[in-house]
Amino acid sequence: MTDAIGELLPPDRLMLTPGPSSVHPRIYRAMSTTMVGHLDPWFLNMMMNEVQVLLRQVFRTENRTTFPISSSGSGGIEASMLNPLEEGDEALICVNGAFSQRMAEIAERTPAKVTRVTAPYGRAVDPDDLRRAGKGKKIKVIGATHGESSTSVASPLDEYRKVADELGALLVVDCVSTLAGMPIQVDKQRIDICFSGSQKALSAPPGLSPITVSAKAEEVIRNRKTKVQSWYFDLTTTMNYWGKERTYHHTPAIPLLYGFREALRMVVEEGLEARWERHRLNQRAFLAGVEGLGLKPFVENPADRMITVTAIHVPEKVDPKRVQDQLLGEFNIEIAGGFGPLKGKIWRVGLMGHTSQRRNVLLLLGALENVLVSQGYRAANGAGVAGAIRVYSEAGAGVVGAAR
Domains defined along the chain, listed by start: 25-269 (3.40.640.10), 271-395 (3.90.1150.10)
Q: List CB contacts of 189: < 8 A, sequence separation 6 or more.
A: 157, 158, 161
Mean pLDDT of 174-198: 98
Write down the pLDDT at residue 300. 94
Instruction: Give the whole-angstrom CA distance, residue 253 versus residue 255.
Output: 6
Write down the pLDDT at residue 110. 97
Q: Is 403's pLDDT higher than 50?
A: no
Write down the pLDDT at residue 236. 86
Q: Is 49's pLDDT higher than 70?
A: yes
Mean pLDDT of 307-327: 97
Instruction: Give the whole-angstrom CA distance, residue 151 versus residue 308.
Output: 12
Q: How far is CA 87 from CA 70, 110, 117, 173, in A?
A: 27, 8, 20, 21
Question: Mean pLDDT score of the chain, rounded to an integer?
Answer: 94
Q: Is 401's pLDDT higher than 70?
A: no
pLDDT digits (tens, 9 = 90+) for 89-145: 999 999 999 999 999 999 999 999 999 999 999 999 999 999 999 999 999 999 999
Write down the pLDDT at residue 61. 98
Instruction: Give the whole-angstrom CA distance, residue 353 versus residue 19.
Output: 10
Q: Residue 86 is which amino acid?
A: E
Q: Is 256's pLDDT higher than 80?
A: yes
Between 10-19, 259-268, 375-384, the lowest mean confidence (pLDDT) is in 375-384
Q: Is 35's pLDDT higher than 50?
A: yes
pTM: 0.94
